[in-house]
Structure 1
Amino acid sequence: MAKKPTNNRVPAKAEPKKPYPIAGTSIVPTQLFHVPSLQPRQEGPWRDEPDKLAWVDKATGMPCLMLRARNGTLSGYVAVSAKHPLFGFDYRAVPADLGIQPHGGLNYSAACDEEADERVSVCHISEQPRERGRQPRGEQERPTFNEEQWWFGFACDKSYDLRPGCYQDHMSAENGQTYRGEDYVFTQCTNLAHQLAAAGGETVSGVPIDTSSFTVPPVGLDAGEK
């Protein structure tokens, strides 16, 4: 069961599930939240972005999501199923020769976080309806979770990334740092899903997945590495 919110001055609401345009395409979110407490105070492109957006990648069928951190940056996550050879792997143990290379490199691996607030959890709500008669009378409907997911993620908070929620980074754009918005993070999540699918020997429409054309972002911490 998702925990009740405890730290937001203004309640966050789930948006209706309707087509959402992003990065030159359109998706139907499985979760979409605006969380006021996560929004940076200054104006910027983040004002028009959700703070949590979850969807299923059309090509691979893998659950994806992006989530805003306290420093105002977006992070991206992709889940593999229990059948995937990397299921349960620590991100630091993923073999380099598999080419799993999202923005800045992997920095997260964990099972579905069922206990966190749904608006900020790294987890997908299950599309399976709750069985009739299993919900206690008078109790609010609870979200259900898919436990057979292992999430890998990356963060856009490197030294060359703009962190709009950090006071010291307010002038960072003038110093060459770049805010990684929803279109960029969506594309990186899509690439990560394809990379993970390829690592699992999966295909799209029977054709092996080609990841050779994907842009490989920098991994180092040098602001000059772009």
Structure 2
Amino acid sequence: MAKNRIGASRTSPSTALATIKPKALNPSGEAALAKTLGSEGPLAKMPGAGGEVIHQAGIVRVTGRDYATDAETVPASEIYFVARKKPSNPGPWLNEADKVAWIDPRTGYECIMLRHDPDGFLSGYVGVPEDHPLFGWDHEAIAPEIGIDVHGGLTYSRICNDGPSSRRGLEAEAHRICHVIVGHASLNTTDDRVHSGQWWLGFECNHIYDFVPGRPQHRQSFMEAETDAEYRDDAYVVREILNLAAQLKALAMGEPVPARDGPPLPSIGLDPKRGG
């Protein structure tokens, strides 16, 4: 099938990552970061010490720190906070990251949690290599009998965007769905490596049973009250990403799909867009 590849965005030399000097996340750096982000809440999401931070046009990227939700800690390669993606109304999203990229140590698959702009809901993605049986498959063509069981069902399938590059600015990197930088390396010193293809499968948390924080009240669905709509926070979305990674790994190994972790999913049949 046809594979769409997004070309590298054009970035002026003055905004390219290679021109931004990272700052150490020592105690004074953490204090400055808390001031930039508006509170110390986001710092609690990044346990440990050390790491680096860079800022550009309302976007903050942290490397060298893990990312912790209320239920799981992942070995983050990149953590982004994007001011304009943050709904201003009070809620758990104010302390959450807007993009977290990591390699799942249990499956070896690359994973991304990403916040949608402008509605503010979270989505999740797992990349599979070229030898995976679902590489190149459109998400709508993947039969339920295969065993993929994720929030709202799969809604995304696409070839990897261009990989990490020090020639681009933070704006592009904060939205890119592609290979994560390896380990805790600084992107500023990352060579433009040639990667094999990667096919990303993902889901979104903007269904009729989901509370969408950036959607004005008059646009909220009248069905949200009927379906007990909830905001799907970072703990929920990271768990769903890890469930998806485990399911995809089992398919690659020819093994039974493991039981999912967490509570039962909302019924897709509740969503008129998906049907039941």
State the TM bucket, normalised to the shorter chain.
0.7 to 0.9
Tell me, what secondary structure is at the counterpart of 2:212? coil
Instruction: Please list, as runs of the form range in 1=range in 2, the aligned pairs for 1:44-193 lying within 5 A after superposition.
Output: 44-70=91-117, 71-114=119-162, 117-127=172-182, 144=192, 146-167=195-216, 168-169=219-220, 176-193=228-245
Q: Aligned AA for 1:161?
A: D
How much does 1:218 deviate? 2.4
- TM-score, normalisation: structure 1: 0.79
Moved more, 60-69 or 117-126: 117-126
Task: Note the alpha carbon deviations across 1:84-143, whole angstroms, 9 max, x for none.
Answer: 011111111113211112100001000111288110111123439xxxxxxxxxxx7566
- What is the aligned length? 206
Q: Aligned AA for 1:125?
A: V
Structure 1 residues without counterparts, runs of 5 or longer: 129-139, 203-207
| Relative contact order, higher structure (CA 8 A, sep 6+) | 1
Tell me what 1:194 maps to.
Answer: 246
How much does 1:216 deviate? 4.0
CA distance in structure 1 between the partners assigned to 2:256 and 2:87 by the alignment: 38
Please say if residues 112 and 124 of structure 2, whose CA atoms lie closer than 8 Å, have aligned partners that are also in contact. yes
Please say if residues 21 and 27 of structure 1, whose CA atoms lie closer than 8 Å, have aligned partners that are also in contact. yes
CA distance in structure 2 between the partners assigned to 1:170 and 1:3 by the alignment: 38
- Write 1 or 2 for the structure with the bigger share of helix: 2
How much does 1:174 deviate? 6.2
Q: Tell me: CA distance 1:29–1:209, structure 2 relative to 1, closer, same or farther (3 Å).
A: farther
Tell me the percent identity.
33
Please say if residues 34 and 52 of structure 1, whose CA atoms lie closer than 8 Å, have aligned partners that are also in contact. yes
CA distance in structure 1 between the partners assigned to 2:189 and 2:268 by the alignment: 43
Q: Tell me: CA distance 1:67–1:213, structure 2 relative to 1, closer, same or farther (3 Å).
A: closer
**Superposition RMSD in Å:** 3.0
CA distance in structure 2 between the partners assigned to 1:217 and 1:148 by the alignment: 33
CA distance in structure 2 between the partners assigned to 1:216 and 1:103 by the alignment: 6
Structure 2 residues without counterparts, runs of 5 or longer: 1-7, 16-55, 164-170
CA distance in structure 2 between the partners assigned to 1:90 and 1:210 by the alignment: 20
CA distance in structure 1 between the partners assigned to 2:267 and 2:257 by the alignment: 20
Q: Tell me: CA distance 1:21–1:46, structure 2 relative to 1, closer, same or farther (3 Å).
A: same
Q: Tell me: CA distance 1:3–1:216, structure 2 relative to 1, closer, same or farther (3 Å).
A: farther
Q: Tell me: CA distance 1:42–1:216, structure 2 relative to 1, closer, same or farther (3 Å).
A: closer
